[in-house]
Amino acid sequence: MISKEQIAADYQQIQDEICAALELTDGNAHFEEELWEREGGGGGRTRIIQNGNIFEKGGVNFSAVHGTLPHTMKKALNVEQDDFFATGVSIVIHPNHPMVPIIHMNIRYFEMPSSFSSDQPVRWFGGGIDLTPHYVIEDDARFFHGYLKSVCDQFYHDFYHRFKLWADDYFFIKHRDETRGIGGIFYDRLTANEELSWEQILEFSKAVGRSFVPIYTELVKRNRNKDFNEDQQAWQYQRRSRYTEFNLVYDAGTRFGLETNGRIESILMSLPPTAKWVYNYHPVPGSEEEKTLSLLKKGINWV
Amino acid sequence: MISKEQIAADYQQIQDEICAALELTDGNAHFEEELWEREGGGGGRTRIIQNGNIFEKGGVNFSAVHGTLPHTMKKALNVEQDDFFATGVSIVIHPNHPMVPIIHMNIRYFEMPSSFSSDQPVRWFGGGIDLTPHYVIEDDARFFHGYLKSVCDQFYHDFYHRFKLWADDYFFIKHRDETRGIGGIFYDRLTANEELSWEQILEFSKAVGRSFVPIYTELVKRNRNKDFNEDQQAWQYQRRSRYTEFNLVYDAGTRFGLETNGRIESILMSLPPTAKWVYNYHPVPGSEEEKTLSLLKKGINWV
């Protein structure tokens, strides 16, 4: 098994690759970097891009932290051990253009020493990519899910199927009875077994990370030059309010960060630059907005 | 003890009075009413004012609901009984003008039959008023707290002191280490004792409800004609993002409503029409924004 240091180094490299590609795509804005240290051990590189040609606000964050698990985290993770190591890359991008989707990607690795010193450490991988179009464009949705399926299929035959269902369930705004977007893949506590080695799972994790750039640059390219009007921008801001609701009410990572005194500005970089809440909004029958709402449902098969 | 029907009727009248006064103050917008029924019993009158001269978005809601408590609510309330009755008036107002504060008011009554039929029902009152200025104006803060103290002092000598501390603790955004605003009063599970009858507590609850109009119309009058610029408006939208964070992450009423499938549009009417999240914002040293942040702390004595 590759060391945790190697995994963190691989993740850092993926962060570098993604930031370079996004700056190239934007053509104007550059990432600002904030290096931070965690009191209990470790730290991170928060990188934020703002007010670009394409990207209104986005973060591509790396962190590698270690230390003693707070009691609440032990309970939440259902583990007994006190020491932990966690590393990951997290991305959320809010574009200017209402036809360009919001995207989220995360790859992460978690490790704890076993309670018995002779044993292997307890460890797992988690992550995923999901897409939140302000307007669901069916061709784009098929491209997105098709790409993810092709990545998953290189590693295990049921990964796409399982992780797509998991994303549908996870990225769900219960009180609105709607999904956050068109889903994608989500997985957690992925461990080696007879069929997959740790090395293969690490490669899968890196492949998910490296699928971000080709997927998102394609979606930006397809939509960035479309015309849009003020009503469509207002709708974009409304969709962002739903994104905010999901992240503050349900997202496990966000709530975990808030409860364990993480670096607030890194955790909440996922929140949109502008969001609007309109009372009792109902889309015009037959409109594109209504069509989008009809597609924010679990269980749609895009491939 | 006055009946629950009488309390609900008194609360409805307070809703009517407040809506009439706010329409008069605004001079342009009118409340739209949505009557709704709860599947399990009872219902409410949601009243929303939008796009006014003064009020960008506000709700003055009445409800009186009854039925069987869901398991989660029994646990949250730490009660054994199944049947309940609850009535209340809830207000949140987001004004257009950054110098006019956001205000929140709630009065509520809760009742359950005793487990022993010969006993009195289990019952209590709760509520409060608190103020969230985008810019803390110290004169206005003193007026606000002074008015609340004078209302409290008419009923019991330590009400203001106790309920002011309670508001400081309740309206606190832990992950920002700042209070939502300048507090006010907050109380819960207020019951009769040797010194206060149920009638007096009901009168206190109504007095809190009826203090809303004189307090808020005064604060509107003081500030509505002040000049403001785009930067101040942007700051207002940032303060609203903190309001959103409090309501979605901490507010007990909001989270309870989301978890028990309340009427979503009535629960989330408290969220702002427009909010902005700016990454890693730091106010200019010596600015009014910095001064406001310095006053968003627990334990400031305004009277």
Summarised one tens digit per residue, pLDDT across range A144-191 is 999 999 999 999 999 999 999 999 999 999 999 999 999 999 999 999
User: Is residue A116 very low, low, confident or very high in pLDDT (cuts 50, 70, 90)?
Assistant: low
Element (H, E) at B203: helix B198-223
| B85, two tokens | 């009755």
pLDDT of residue B78: 80
pLDDT of residue B115: 66
Average pLDDT of the segment spanning A266-274: 96
CATH of the domain at B209: 3.40.1500.10
Any domain includes A277: yes
DSSP A182: S
User: Is residue B118 very low, low, confident or very high in pLDDT (cuts 50, 70, 90)?
Assistant: low
User: Is residue B172 very low, low, confident or very high in pLDDT (cuts 50, 70, 90)?
Assistant: very high
pLDDT of residue B39: 85
Tell me the pLDDT of chain A averaged across its residues. Answer: 94
Distance CA A183, CA A101 (A): 12
Residue A269 has pLDDT above 70, yes or no: yes
Tell me the pLDDT of chain B averaged across its residues. Answer: 94
User: Is residue A117 very low, low, confident or very high in pLDDT (cuts 50, 70, 90)?
Assistant: low
Residue B114 has pLDDT above 80, yes or no: no
User: Is residue B72 very low, low, confident or very high in pLDDT (cuts 50, 70, 90)?
Assistant: confident
pLDDT of residue B267: 93
pTM of the model: 0.94
Residue B33 has pLDDT above 80, yes or no: yes
ipTM: 0.93
Average pLDDT of the segment spanning A254-270: 87
- Its domain, for residue A212, covers 4-294
Any domain includes A226: yes
pLDDT of residue A37: 92
Residues on chain B touching A272 (C-beta within 8 angstroms): 277
- Whole-angstrom distance between the N-terminal and C-terminal Cα of chain A? 34
How many independent structural domains does chain B possess? 1
Any domain includes B302: no
Taking the CA of residue A190 and the nearest CA in chain B, the distance in Å comes to 29
pLDDT of residue A80: 78
Any domain includes A95: yes
pLDDT of residue A298: 97
B208-257 pLDDT tens trace: 999 999 999 999 999 999 999 999 999 999 999 999 999 999 998 898 88
Q: Where are the beta strands (DSSP E) in B40-82?
A: 42-50, 55-68
The B residues from 237 to 256 touching A (CB cutoff 8 Å) are 237, 241, 244-245, 248-249, 255
Taking the CA of residue A262 and the nearest CA in chain B, the distance in Å comes to 9
Buried b (16+ CB within 10 A) or exposed e, B74-85: beebeeebeebb
Residue A81 has pLDDT above 90, yes or no: no
pLDDT of residue A118: 60
B219-232 pLDDT tens trace: 999 999 999 999 99
User: Is residue B116 very low, low, confident or very high in pLDDT (cuts 50, 70, 90)?
Assistant: low
Average pLDDT of the segment spanning A236-241: 98
Indicate if A104 belongs to the active site: yes
C-beta of residue A180 within 8 angstroms of C-beta of residue A141: no
Residues on chain B touching A230 (C-beta within 8 angstroms): none
pLDDT of residue B150: 98
C-beta of residue A94 within 8 angstroms of C-beta of residue A88: no
C-beta of residue A248 within 8 angstroms of C-beta of residue B249: yes
Interface contact B274-A269, CB threshold 8 A:
no
Residues on chain B touching A265 (C-beta within 8 angstroms): 279-280
Long-range contacts from A115-120, C-beta under 8 angstroms, 24+ separation: A115/A80, A115/A81, A120/A1
pLDDT of residue A271: 98
Residue A1 has pLDDT above 80, yes or no: no
In this complex, the residue of A174, A261, A274 whose CB is nearest that of residue B274 is: A274
| B186, two tokens | 């907050």
Any domain includes A64: yes
Residue of B105, B101, B85, B13 whose CA lies nearest to B42: B85
B283-296 pLDDT tens trace: 999 999 999 999 99
Any domain includes A98: yes
Residue of A131, A146, A141, A126 whose CA lies nearest to A204: A126
pLDDT of residue B108: 96
Distance CA B303, CA B257 (A): 34
User: Is residue B258 very low, low, confident or very high in pLDDT (cuts 50, 70, 90)?
Assistant: confident
Candidates B61, B277, B278, partner chain A, best to mutate (most A CBs within 10 A): B277
pLDDT of residue B132: 98
The B residues from 62 to 101 touching A (CB cutoff 8 Å) are none
Q: Where are the beta strands (DSSP E) in chain A?
A: 32-37, 42-50, 55-68, 83-95, 102-112, 122-132, 172-173, 178-179, 184-190, 274-276
Residue of B171, B179, B284 whose CA lies nearest to B235: B284
Distance CA A245, CA A172 (A): 11
Residues on chain B touching A29 (C-beta within 8 angstroms): none
Contacts of B35 (CB under 8 A, 6+ apart): B43, B44, B45, B46
Q: Where are the beta strands (DSSP E) in B51-203?
A: 55-68, 83-95, 102-112, 122-132, 172-173, 178-179, 184-190
| A141, two tokens | 């949705």
C-beta of residue B98 within 8 angstroms of C-beta of residue B233: yes
Residue A4 has pLDDT above 90, yes or no: yes
User: Is residue A202 very low, low, confident or very high in pLDDT (cuts 50, 70, 90)?
Assistant: very high
Average pLDDT of the segment spanning A230-250: 98
Interface contact A249-B248, CB threshold 8 A:
yes
Any domain includes A49: yes
Lowest pLDDT segment from A23-27, A71-75, B40-44, B143-147: A71-75
Interface contact A279-B241, CB threshold 8 A:
no
Distance CA A49, CA A29 (A): 6
pLDDT of residue B68: 86
Using the Cβ of A34 and the Cβ atoms of chain B, whether some distance falls under 8 Å is answered with yes
Any domain includes A163: yes
Candidates A172, A277, A281, A282, partner chain B, best to mutate (most B CBs within 10 A): A277
Contacts of A107 (CB under 8 A, 6+ apart): A11, A14, A88, A89, A125, A126, A127, A205, A206, A208, A209
Contacts of A83 (CB under 8 A, 6+ apart): A66, A67, A68, A69, A112, A113
